[in-house]
């Protein structure tokens, strides 16, 4: 299992801010994602209406999830496939290993799958003598570097061209040492050549799924490279890893969701390859897998149904929330310490590994609301993060100092007269103390805040006083 470093979010964030390579990558890539999405959305006048449609489809699917999963399984069986229901990560790992062993697999190619990261399937296969090969370019280098993805659709978001060169030189020692990496293209060509033989040699191909379709028993993957399709077409056995909330009713429903997915993710109108796979090779077919297994994973999802966090299960993993998040943009994905970064990770991670471990994540938000405003399925991410903050407080998980300060504030907040008196006194007192400089460089008990900025000195009046004055003058009327 991946050991979550989410409890150390504060230290991780400090390290990320001081990491020059990461900061270079964030400065380069952040703005381009935002601009591309904006252009794609501007090109589709119906986009906002389609967000409502997408939300409604997912809500309908979740409200009837038991029905649709059973309908889905019946169709998978009809088309010659098999569904392996797995309650948690351990069961899913066992199921995948058993299928690989039955197939006598030595090497397994893999398409990018976040649930695969979540259940840490690669480590498990390796421990049992099976070599997994990530084939998505970003995942490939992450695997070579023994890292976690730093972004859910761009796993190598944190790397620069020099990192690619360095990693490839260390990994591909059979190639001439004096070869040049002058442009990105050189990296791409080397990866293509290296991976082509892996695609052809693999015994089993493992992909994720963007959607499962109850109407037909299909799994859907979306890629630009074509690696997912090579992975699910060439080996004799295809394994699909999918969590239960991926199931939608019909081809039409999936199609509507696809219209908002690529635009929200990469800013493309449609990804290069959007592929619907249904069961095994048919009679007369010249290619395609002879076995088709769906490892259907709960791992904490069903426990979110009926709670404040049910809406999170609508997520279609487009990454728009993290692309638009000022916190992600400052510290990158690894600081979040587990599989899912950014706002969606700040809501999902506490649900999957516990708020005791991941409580910092929902606190790492400015609540600017940008994530919710770009979410294609309209998940109220700030509200859900607030729910986690409440849970953290209720369970006495937040630090003592913070709790004491909140308790003091709450005492005054419940007594408006006293509150006004106290703020007036504080504004007056601070005004006296700092009138000369106009700002405080240091404040007792607020060193963390003033460490990065100065606090302006109050100019005498409180907000209430000014508001009352304005009312009397007839300004705010």
Partner 1 sequence: MSKESILTAIRRGLKRGPLPGDQAAMLRGRLAQHPRQLIPARSRLAHAEQVALFVRNVEKEFGSVARVAELASVPGAVADYLGAQNLPSRAVMAPHPELRAIPWAERPLLEIREGRAEGSDAVSIQHGFAGIAETGTLMLPSSPERPVTLNLLADTEIVVLRASAITGAYEEGWDRVRTEIGAMPRNVMFITGPSRSADIEQTLELGAHGPRRLHVVLVDDMQ
- Interaction residues for partner 1, span 221-250 (CB under 8 A): 224-227, 229-230, 233-234, 244, 249-250
With binding defined as CB under 8 A, does residue 328 bind partner 1?
no
Nearer to partner 1, 194 or 420 (CB): 194
With binding defined as CB under 8 A, does residue 333 bind partner 1?
no
Nearer to partner 1, 65 or 344 (CB): 65
Total number of residues binding partner 1 (CB under 8 A)? 102
Is the Cα torsion angle 391, 396, 401, 403 positive or negative in sign? positive
With binding defined as CB under 8 A, does residue 259 bind partner 1?
yes
Give the span between the Cα atoms of 319 and 345, in whole angstroms. Answer: 10
With binding defined as CB under 8 A, does residue 251 bind partner 1?
yes
Residues 147-186 that bind partner 1 (CB under 8 A): 154-157, 159-161, 164, 184-185
Residue 211: exposed, middle, or buried by beta-carbon count in 10 A (0-12, 13-18, 19+)? buried
With binding defined as CB under 8 A, does residue 412 bind partner 1?
no
Residue from 27, 42, 200, 426 in contact with partner 1 (CB under 8 A): 200
How far apart are CB 475 and partner 1 at their closest, in Å? 46
Longest Cα separation, the chain: 89
Give the span between the Cα atoms of 300 and 119, in whole angstroms. Answer: 12
The residue with tokens 């470093």 is 5
How far apart are CB 68 and partner 1 at their closest, in Å? 8
How far apart are CB 411 and partner 1 at their closest, in Å? 38
List Cα–Cα distances, 27 to 21, 400, 473, in angstroms: 10, 36, 47
Question: Binding string, 268-307, against partner 1, x = CB under 8 A?
Answer: xxxxxxxxxxxxxxx-xxxxx-------x-x---xxxxxx
| Pair of tokens at residue 243 | 């969590």
Identify the three-state secondary structure at position 113. Answer: coil
Question: Binding string, 415-454, against partner 1, x = CB under 8 A?
Answer: ----------------------------------------
> How many Cα atoms are found within 13 Å in the side-chain-facing hemisphere of 346?
32
With binding defined as CB under 8 A, does residue 29 bind partner 1?
yes
Nearer to partner 1, 316 or 430 (CB): 316
Residue from 16, 41, 57, 344 in contact with partner 1 (CB under 8 A): 57
Give the span between the Cα atoms of 54 and 47, in whole angstroms. Answer: 10
Residue from 192, 403, 435, 437 in contact with partner 1 (CB under 8 A): 192
DSSP code per residue over 288-354: S-SEEEEEEE-TTSGGGTTSTTGGGGG-----HHHHT-HHHHHHTTGGG-SS--HHHHHHHHHHHH-
């Amino acid at each position: 299992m991946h050991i979550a470093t989410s409890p150390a979010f504060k230290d991780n964030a400090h390290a990320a801010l001081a990491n020059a390579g990461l900061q270079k990558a964030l400065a380069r890539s952040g703005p381009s994602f935002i601009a591309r999405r904006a252009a794609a959305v501007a090109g589709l006048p119906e986009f906002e209406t389609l967000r409502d449609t997408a939300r409604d489809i997912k809500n309908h699917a979740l409200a009837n999830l038991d029905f649709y999963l059973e309908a889905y399984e019946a169709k998978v069986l009809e088309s010659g496939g098999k569904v392996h229901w797995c309650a948690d990560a351990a069961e899913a790992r066992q199921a995948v290993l058993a299928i690989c062993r039955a197939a006598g697999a030595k090497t397994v190619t893999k398409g990018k799958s976040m649930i695969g990261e979540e259940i840490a399937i690669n480590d498990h296969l390796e421990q049992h003598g099976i070599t997994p090969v990530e084939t998505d370019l970003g995942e490939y280098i992450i695997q070579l570097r023994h890292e976690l993805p730093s972004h859910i659709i761009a796993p190598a978001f944190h790397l620069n061209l020099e990192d690619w060169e360095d990693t490839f030189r260390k990994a591909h020692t059979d190639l001439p040492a004096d070869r040049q990496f002058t442009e990105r293209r050189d990296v791409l060509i080397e990866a293509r050549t290296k991976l082509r033989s892996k695609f052809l040699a693999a015994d089993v191909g493992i992909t994720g799924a963007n959607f499962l379709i109850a109407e037909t028993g299909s799994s859907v993957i979306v890629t630009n490279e074509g690696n997912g399709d090579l992975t699910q077409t060439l080996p004799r056995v295809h394994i699909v890893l999918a969590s239960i909330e991926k199931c939608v009713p019909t081809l039409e429903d999936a199609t509507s969701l696809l219209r908002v997915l690529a635009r929200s993710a990469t800013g493309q109108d449609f990804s290069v390859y959007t592929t619907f796979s249904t069961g095994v090779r048919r009679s007369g077919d010249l290619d395609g897998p002879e076995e088709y297994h769906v490892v259907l994973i709960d791992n904490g999802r069903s426990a979110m149904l009926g709670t404040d966090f049910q809406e999170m299960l609508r997520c279609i993993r487009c990454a728009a929330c993290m692309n638009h998040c000022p916190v992600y943009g400052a510290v990158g994905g690894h600081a979040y310490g587990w599989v899912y970064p950014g706002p969606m990770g700040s809501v999902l991670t506490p649900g999957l590994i516990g708020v005791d471990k991941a409580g910092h994540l929902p606190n790492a938000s400015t609540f600017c609301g940008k994530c919710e405003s770009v979410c294609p399925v309209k998940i109220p991410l700030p509200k859900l993060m607030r729910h986690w903050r409440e849970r953290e407080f209720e369970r006495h998980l937040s630090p003592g100092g913070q709790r004491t300060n909140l308790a003091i504030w709450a005492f005054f907040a419940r007594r408006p007269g006293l509150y006004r008196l106290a703020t007036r006194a504080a504004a007056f007192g601070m005004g006296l103390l700092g009138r000369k400089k106009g700002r405080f460089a240091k404040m007792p008990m607020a060193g963390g805040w003033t460490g990065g900025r100065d606090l302006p000195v109050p100019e005498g009046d409180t907000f209430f006083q000014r508001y009352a004055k304005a009312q009397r003058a007839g300004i705010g009327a």
